[in-house]
Amino acid sequence: MTRRLGRWRRAVGVGLVLAAAGAVSPPAPRAEDGPPQSFNIVGLRMNKVTLYRECAMDKGVSISRDDVEKRKPWRATSDPKTSVYYWVKMDGVDYCVKAFAVETDRVVPVAKDEECRTRVAGRPPKTGAVRGVGENCN
Amino acid sequence: MSSPAVHDGTLVADSVATSDGPSASTRTLVQFVFLAALGALLFNFHGISMHLTPWSQAIVNAIVKFTYDQTGQDKTLVVLFREENLATLKESFPISYARHAEVLEALTVYEPAAVFVDFAFIDERPGQDVAPLSDAICSLRASGVAVYLAASPLAGRAGGDGLRPGLDRSCFTPVDVQMDSESGVSGVLTYRACKSLTSCAPADLLWTPAFAIAAPQVGIGRADAQQMEIIWGNRVSKLNESWMDCESDGTLVHLRQMLKENPLASKRKCPHTNTISVVHLLGRFDKKLKDESVKGRTIFYGGSFEMAGDRVISPVFDDLPGVYLHAMAYDNLLTFRTDYKRAEQHGLSLSRVVNGLLLLFTIVLLLLVDKPPAFARRLMGRLGEVSPRLRWAMFTVAVGCVLLTAFTRTSLLAILLLVPLLLGVVAVLHLAATRPERSPSARQFLWSGFLGATILAGALVLFLAVDARYGIEAALLLVVLPGYFVYKALVARDVLFVATTVLLIGAAVVSFLPPINLGPRNIVAYVAFFEVARHLMRQADGAARRYFALRREQPDPASWGVGPGVLKAMDWLFALCIRGDDEEIRHDATARAVA
């Protein structure tokens, strides 16, 4: 009887330790935090696609299907922070390209949707102002 | 049911006392006018109708949940630019033309049938070139996709659509995005066909997005287009559940909110319309998404931003981004096609006519229940003398019409159902006029109490179970309503209430079906009016009888402290409150026999 009680105590103790460890351990890594995936770009889904130098939207360079043909196999990597862009190198400079616009030689995995557990319906806080008032007045 | 004074000795004496007052028909007429005025007051002003709308709406939501077709949901997709997407895409508000162009380019890849852009490009933006956006719109159009752009409500801008210059007008159709006002807590329930509320016939009037896209698909002409009453579908969207947080409040929270406020206080968290965010669209190309949700569908591209307005309050969901209103209206048009539910009909407001008829029926029943006037008893009593063969023939016709309605698809469903409905009205009026009063025995009294407590406990347990599994609307429809009916039928033994409610529901169904095509009626308000007015009439009848009993005991005007003229006027006034008449007593036995 005493031995059985001791076993129970040990089991409860181990359970508590495991529970505590779970509570303080970091959350499971998100896909976008994981290592970048490497793959090849094999085509474009549109006639022309813009590449953005260092992913700056004001530094766009347009490429055509022919440009891709010349560069095939064109090495690309996924962005660890977002699923929206892939990174490519062109003439030694890093560019990002819209993910939907290119065809790849394999399916680039997205382990977790960035939009997970989003609430679309809901009551936003009521405010007495409108967004953007006072901006760019001139 | 009826007050104990009805059949006691006092009544006979009272009847004698009122014999010099207004006749039975005058009393009935005055009571009719009073009830009609009361009904008009309660229904037209901020009264019973407004307060009971959430309850009625919750029941409608439950019915819609189980009956609304999937057709529109399958063919509609909302692409939402969410507040959080701004940070992900390193974007700021308002979204740049280049980013909108990017979204439209991505949509081109996914090959939808039509795209409505719920962003109005009104002002010129310094430092931003509109050409990429215009090119993206034209390239979408060139790939065979119909493009619709939200027009500005401001008049007098370039091109008549109020949009900024620089957009190629040949590549898109401008549409009017004005939203109708909210109907109390139910939110927005109506949707315009075009900019005008009266007629869409003039060719220069802009359509609203849903009508602009659906009109050619379902065959709605400008002359036929009328303001729509939106049925807010609430089917489950598997696509939405795959990424949104759709968890609703707990059952006990529902119960508390329902009791504290109303059943609409706790609404659904996930929209009915299939939805993806721009991050989904701009991310890795997804063939499954293309084939199952985008290709050949109609896309409603809109935004959801803090402090930017553009929210729509619906009776089913927590506040949604405004684009869902257009998507839901389009969904309705695909689902009901030309039989979409009309808010108002051309010129004549059919909606008001139907409301008036429902009120009239309720008032006539109120005058007949409990103490029907002798002439009504005579008239309705004759129905009991109809030959059994004719009765069976009528019954067969009624059942035949209901079966035809259930198993055929015709545009005359309401006409078919009108036959059994009218027969039902006659049957209920007959029942009301001839049904004898019954006093419960002591055993029945105890049994009713026990039964009432059991029904209440059972309903509570069932409510919690159904709410947890199917939601609060289902719990209201499947537990609260049947529970109340069972209570009224078995405990209160108020068969007339049940029959009246069934008929009112039948009338609501008839007015919903083609060719009438009206939106759902607020049946709860009529039923509540029936109960409240019935109670008031009993009280008035009881007060009048007490008055005449006192008058008999103290006939001298001096003891009342008023002159003989005033007392005579009082006699006349109280006599108007009396229900039934002398003949009631004499024909009581006959009525019992007929019933």
Which of B94, B309, B320 is nearest residue A120 as measured by Cβ atoms? B320
Distance from CA of B438 to the nearest CA of A (A): 53
Who's near B192: CB < 8 A, 6+ residues apart? Answer: B176, B178, B180, B208, B227, B228
Who's near A108: CB < 8 A, 6+ residues apart? Answer: A37, A39, A78, A86, A99, B284
Residue A91 has pLDDT above 90, yes or no: no
Residues of B in contact with A110 (CB under 8 A): 283-284
Which of B99, B245, B279 is nearest residue A119 as measured by Cβ atoms? B245
Helices in B369-387 by DSSP H: which ranges? Answer: 374-381
Residue A53 falls inside a structural domain: yes
Instruction: Please tell me which residue, A56 or B544, carries the higher pLDDT value.
Output: B544
Three-state SS for A86?
strand
**Where do we find the tokens 């060139």?**
B142
Residue B412 has pLDDT above 90, yes or no: no
- Number of Cβ atoms within 10 Å of the Cβ of B257: 17
What pLDDT, in 10s, does the model give residues A20-39? 444 433 333 344 456 788 89
Q: Which of B122, B282, B320 to mutate to test the interface with A (most CBs of A within 10 A)?
A: B282
Which of B105, B304, B309 is nearest residue A120 as measured by Cβ atoms? B304
CATH number at residue A60: 2.30.30
Residue A98 falls inside a structural domain: yes
The answer to whether the CB of A36 falls within 8 A of the CB of A80 is yes
Q: Report the domain count for chain A.
A: 1
For chain A, what is the radius of gyration of the CA atoms?
25
Residue A39 falls inside a structural domain: yes
Who's near B283: CB < 8 A, 6+ residues apart? Answer: A82, A83, A84, A99, A100, A110, A114
Rounded to whole angstroms, how far apart are CA atoms B495 and B492? 8
Residue A90 falls inside a structural domain: yes
Angle subtended at Cα B265 by Cα B260 and Cα B269, rounded to the nearest 5 degrees: 145
Rounded to whole angstroms, how far apart are CA atoms B323 and B303? 7
Chain A residues contacting B via beta carbons under 8 Å = 45-46, 55, 57, 82-84, 98-103, 107-108, 110, 113-125, 127, 129-132, 136
Residue B7 has pLDDT above 70, yes or no: no
Query: What b/e string do you get for B278-317 counting C-beta neighbours within 10 Å, with b at 16 or more?
Result: bbbbbbbbbeebbeebbeebbbbbbbbbebbebbbbbbbb
The band of A9, judged by pLDDT with boundaries at 50, 70 and 90, is low
Residue A119 falls inside a structural domain: no
Q: What integer pLDDT is reported at residue B438 of this predicted model?
A: 66
Three-state SS for B79?
strand
The band of B504, judged by pLDDT with boundaries at 50, 70 and 90, is confident
Who's near B51: CB < 8 A, 6+ residues apart? Answer: none
What pLDDT, in 10s, does the model give residues A57-73? 778 899 999 998 888 88
**Domain residue limits at A39:** 32-104
The band of A100, judged by pLDDT with boundaries at 50, 70 and 90, is very high
Starting at the edge strand found earlier in the chain, the sheet holding A48-53 runs: A60-64, A48-53, A93-98, A85-90, A74-78, A38-44, A102-104
What's the average model confidence in pLDDT over B153-181?
A: 81
User: What length is written for chain A?
Assistant: 138
Q: What are phi and psi of A86, to 5 degrees?
A: -115, 155
Q: Which of B285, B317, B324 to mutate to test the interface with A (most CBs of A within 10 A)?
A: B285
Give DSSP secondary structure letters for B389-457: HHHHHHHHHHHHHHHHHHH---TTHHHHHHHHHHHHHHHHHHHHHHPPP-PPPHHHHHHHHHHHHHHHH
| C-alpha torsion angle, residues B565, B568, B570, B575 (rounded to 10) | -160
Rounded to whole angstroms, how far apart are CA atoms B430 and B417? 20
Which of A99, A125, A136 is nearest residue B283 as measured by Cβ atoms? A99
The answer to whether the CB of B362 falls within 8 A of the CB of B572 is no
Residue B216 has pLDDT above 90, yes or no: yes
- Point out the least confidently predicted range of B206-220, B375-389, B451-465, B469-483: B375-389
Query: Chain B, 256-315: which have a CB under 8 Å from a chain A CB?
Result: 267-271, 275, 277, 279-285, 304-309, 311
Give DSSP secondary structure letters for B142-167: HTT-EEEEEPPSSTT-GGGT-PPTTS
Residue A71 falls inside a structural domain: yes
Give DSSP secondary structure letters for A3-22: HHHHHHHHHHHHHHHHHHHH
Instruction: Please tell me which residue, A133 or B473, carries the higher pLDDT value.
Output: B473
Residue B354 has pLDDT above 70, yes or no: yes
Residue A78 falls inside a structural domain: yes
Stated as kind and residue range, the H or E segment containing A102 is: strand A102-104
Q: pTM, whole model, 2 decimals?
A: 0.79
Residue B12 has pLDDT above 80, yes or no: no
Q: Residue B280 is which amino acid? A: H
pLDDT above 70: percentage of residues in chain B = 90
How much is the mean pLDDT over chain A? 75
Residue A15 falls inside a structural domain: no
